[in-house]
Chains A and B, each alone.
Chain A
Amino acid sequence: MNDVILRLDAVEKHFGATPAVHGVTLEIARGEFFALLGPSGCGKTTLLRLVAGFEQPDAGRVVLDGTDVAGVPANERPVNTVFQHYALFPHLTVADNVAFGLRYKSEIRNQKSDIDEMLRLVRLEGLGDRKPDQLSGGQKQRVALARALILHPKVLLLDEPLAALDVKLRKEMQVELKALQRRVGITFIFVTHDQEEALTLADRVAVMNLGKVEQVGTTEAIFERPWTKFVADFMGAVNFFDGFVVRPEKMRLHAAATAGAVEGKVESKVYQGETTRWLVRAADGKLLTVVEQNDGVPDAVSRLKPGDRVWVTWERRHEVPMK
């Protein structure tokens, strides 16, 4: 990568005996939308706090735009954060929340036009005089974004910013966030434990587990070519065999014996709208997950019930090698 805005170099952070972040090395490019993905407690928030300056690493370096920021306090780092529960100042109006950091920026000193423009950018025009408790969840989210973006940070850190929103609003905000990032061109580091969200938003993803980065890559690489069992499993590729893994939606079910098929019994089927998720107990005892597209026309497969005999096939090219 030629234009690295943030480099983490063997960063280490322990709380007592627990390694929250363990030997993390990452390079993030200028203008990139980067996702940190991982289960609860894997160290995502700790990693963000190390970059923001709320925690100091035990070892390793955090290099921001070519400068090692060791010892630089949070308020002097050219980085801003969108907190998980927004952390809006309840005693200030929306406009005052957005203006909060401006007085510490010598270039932009409390420009009312800047504030208005930022409120327009996040679609909050006319709400500048409201207090945070008069806003909906999505609106609060946008205030938190505006408050950080108006300072033109080199990197914007977002800690599960959409987790508190309901599903529909979350989808809308995902689209909006992606468009906003393209427009402002600021590097976003986005924490989530939702793999779908990471895939939707990010250019590249780092999957974390127990404080370590398991794999870094484009969304497609992470999804199609996981390196480790953990990443495969986390991305929903749950059919593990000796030396390879197959995604459930790449497998096919057959109601009659087929050449080269794995024979089994239907253990359960769950209708999910667009798809049906089948659990099949293979003859050797292994449990296979198969996701079939629903086309609305009942056929021999869709009529299968738990307990029925079934045959599972997949194509060789869909086998992802794995130790």
Chain B
Amino acid sequence: MRNPKVESRNPMETRSSKSEERPGSRISDFFRLSSFDFRICLITPTWLVLGLLFLAPLAIMLWLSFQRAGLYGAIEPGPTLANYVRCVEPGYVAIYGRSVWIAVATTVICLMVSYPMAYYIALKARPERKNLLLALVVIPFWTSFLVRTYAWMFILRDQGVINSLLMALGIIHEPLALLYTPLAVMIGQVYAEVPFMVLPIYASLEKLDRSLLEAARDLGAGAAAAFWRVTVPLAMPGTVAGIVLVFIPSLGTFITPDLLGGAKGMLVGNLIQNQFGPALNKPFGSAVAMALTAFVLALLWAYATWAKRRGEEVAL
């Protein structure tokens, strides 16, 4: 039992509410006194970056999407809804369908690959090994994404690593058509996105209080039941973050389908890129981009509503 008198004389050592109310005695009071200017200073770079690099382009695109396309990429004044009407033409809807399908499949496969990885690193690996394993997850980022996607072309093409190996072993006699297929796009996507799934799931599993798992076992739950009733729900924030981080970029991806998917594999990302590039139709490209953004926001909103109704915390 400690002497309360001794404690209160040493406010820096305790975190009791009493010592925090004492004016002028803590560093935080210094910040509070000059708080207004100080906080503005701190937040300004964030607003500058967000405003210039994110909000302004978004506003320009929104404006563009209501203009008309002229000859040779010229922009003629609107306003018009024609671009949005064109968005829902069947040919384009098929592209959206394919994009959603690829994004969903990528996300599901990433989840199935990443969960065991994150689980192993967070809960099973020896502590001194963890940093090494995490580094291995992150190492691909040291090389340009473009270079890594080209590497996949060399692995998957007819004379590539896989086909040469299988033919040398006599398992196949004709090269398998791997490159320029949906499978190739999926492989490239999953490969690119796995770290974005592993890291948030790892972070929430790492925070998991092990004694909760023991408590579950103690109350009679087997290993599987403890996993489904304790680990999975408590790692849900990280899992949702991973799903969002993988699904959204996958929906808009254009490099992977461009390089690994070939001409038939066009996705919505390629469509938008084309309109800004060879097709010289920025207004239509902007309309598709805005529609895609609206679709993603609608999905996030639907999820947040559903989660809130179930009484879960949502941090999106």
Q: Which of A54, A101, A105 contacts B214 (CB 8 A)?
A: A54
A101 touches B211 (CB 8 A): no
Tell me which residues from 198 to 214 in chain A have a Cβ below 8 Å from any Cβ of chain B: none
Q: A75-B222, A91-B234, A104-B221 are in contact. Are A167 and B1 (CB under 8 A)?
A: yes
Asked if B230 is an interface residue, CB under 8 A from chain A, the answer is yes
Interface string of A62-75 (1 = CB under 8 A from B): 00000000000111
A87 touches B209 (CB 8 A): yes
Chain B interface bracket (under 10, 10 to 19, 20 to 34, 35 or more): 10 to 19
CB closest residue in chain B, given A74:
B217
A318 shortest CB reach to chain B, Å: 27
Task: Report chain A residues within 8 Å CB of B209.
Answer: 87
Asked if A90 is an interface residue, CB under 8 A from chain B, the answer is yes
Q: Which of B215, B221, B233, B234 contacts A87 (CB 8 A)?
A: B215
Task: Report chain A residues within 8 Å CB of B222.
Answer: 73, 75
A83 touches B234 (CB 8 A): no
B218 touches A89 (CB 8 A): no
Asked if B203 is an interface residue, CB under 8 A from chain A, the answer is no
Task: Report chain B residues within 8 Å CB of A89.
Answer: 212, 215-216, 230
Tell me which residues from 226 to 278 in chain B have a Cβ below 8 Å from any Cβ of chain A: 229-230, 233-234
Q: A91-B233, A91-B234, A167-B1 are in contact. Are A81 and B215 (CB under 8 A)?
A: yes
Tell me which residues from 174 to 217 in chain B have a Cβ below 8 Å from any Cβ of chain A: 209, 211-212, 214-217
Question: A85–B215 Cα gap in the complex (Å)?
Answer: 11
Question: A73–B312 Cα gap in the complex (Å)?
Answer: 32
Question: A74–B230 Cα gap in the complex (Å)?
Answer: 16
A147 touches B214 (CB 8 A): no
A105 touches B220 (CB 8 A): yes
CB closest residue in chain A, given B312:
A91
Question: A320–B233 Cα gap in the complex (Å)?
Answer: 58
Asked if A187 is an interface residue, CB under 8 A from chain B, the answer is no
A63 shortest CB reach to chain B, Å: 19
Question: Which of A75, A80, A151 counts the most B-chain CB atoms under 10 A from its CB?
Answer: A75
Q: A89-B230, A91-B234 are in contact. Are A151 and B220 (CB under 8 A)?
A: yes
CB closest residue in chain A, given B220:
A104
B219 touches A85 (CB 8 A): no
B62 shortest CB reach to chain A, Å: 39
Question: Which of B220, B233, B312 counts the most A-chain CB atoms under 10 A from its CB?
Answer: B220
Asked if A227 is an interface residue, CB under 8 A from chain B, the answer is no
Q: A89-B230, A167-B1 are in contact. Are A83 and B217 (CB under 8 A)?
A: no
Task: Report chain B residues within 8 Å CB of A52.
Answer: 218
Asked if A100 is an interface residue, CB under 8 A from chain B, the answer is yes
Task: Report chain B residues within 8 Å CB of A54.
Answer: 214, 217-218
Q: Which of B1, B211, B218, B229 contacts A74 (CB 8 A)?
A: B218
Task: Report chain A residues within 8 Å CB of B233.
Answer: 91
CB closest residue in chain B, given A147:
B219
CB closest residue in chain A, given B221:
A75
B1 touches A100 (CB 8 A): no
Q: Apart from A75-B217, A80-B219, A81-B218, what are 18 other A-B pairs with CB-CB below 8 Å?
A: A54-B217, A54-B218, A73-B217, A73-B222, A74-B214, A75-B218, A75-B219, A80-B218, A81-B215, A83-B215, A87-B215, A88-B215, A91-B233, A100-B221, A104-B219, A104-B225, A151-B219, A167-B1
CB<8 Å pairs between A and B, sample of 14? A73-B217, A74-B217, A75-B220, A76-B220, A80-B219, A83-B214, A83-B215, A89-B216, A89-B230, A90-B212, A91-B234, A100-B221, A103-B220, A148-B218
List 5 tightest A-B contacts by C-beta distance, closest first: A104-B220, A101-B219, A87-B215, A87-B211, A74-B217
